[in-house]
Amino acid sequence: MGRLARHAAARPERSAGTFLRHVRSRKTATAAVLAAVLLATRLWVLEPMTVSSESMEPALPRGSMVLLYKPGPLLGGLRAGDLVVFSSPEDGRPTLKRAIAFQGQSVAIEDSVLIVDGKPQSEPGIDHSRIDGSYFGPVMVPAGHVFVLGDNRSGSIDSRAYGSVPLDQMQATVAWPSGG
């Protein structure tokens, strides 16, 4: 008897019903693994968020959808200009703002021009005609904190009102769109 014939004879024939149950079982297992991967991704890596205020206009109008990258702040990769999400010091709700300065830096606004460490900052996404004549600071960002501002400076409650936000309260960075 040939090798294939011995192998076939050693294993009992599967009925069509057994085969279909096996296929369904594999599909169910695959679907369960896929659902677990998607859930884990949403919980710990990426999550969609709808912008709920006008504070980031014109870059991100109210109703815009953004994709949050949750490990971003934990990986220590925050840079000036990044869009960040944290719990609002006022009401605890998730809040989206732009990271402007970090520990040890000074921040001021002089006639609507952002000044960090005494140097005017280029902010191409800011409509200066909407915020002409505003002044703030200077203030020093404390250790372990981030100074955040909304792009719509006249319509944003941000670090000018509640101070710098502790770095450990940063929950995510915006992965898409970049908003700037």
99 confidence band (pLDDT: 50, 70, 90): very high
Residues 36 and 76 in one domain: no
Cis peptide before 138 (omega within 30 of 0): yes
Residues 37 and 61 in one domain: no
For residue 18, what pLDDT is reported?
A: 75
Q: Which domain holds residue 141?
A: 47-176
Judge whether 149 and 126 are in contact, CB under 8 Å: no
Residues 109 and 22 in one domain: no
DSSP secondary structure string for all residues of 45-82: TEEEEE--SSTTTTTS-TT-EEEEETTTTTTT---TT-
pLDDT tens for each residue of 116-172: 999 999 887 777 776 667 889 999 999 999 999 998 888 889 999 999 999 888 888
Residues with a catalytic annotation lie at 55, 97
Residues 124 and 38 in one domain: no
* Alpha helices, DSSP H, located in the chain: 3-10, 16-44, 159-162
Instruction: Say whether pLDDT at 30 is over 80.
Output: no
Residues 79 and 157 in one domain: yes
Residues 134 and 150 in one domain: yes
Residues 114 and 38 in one domain: no
Q: Is the pTM of this model over 0.85?
A: no
Residues 69 and 146 in one domain: yes
* Structural domains in the chain (count): 2
Residues 68 and 109 in one domain: yes
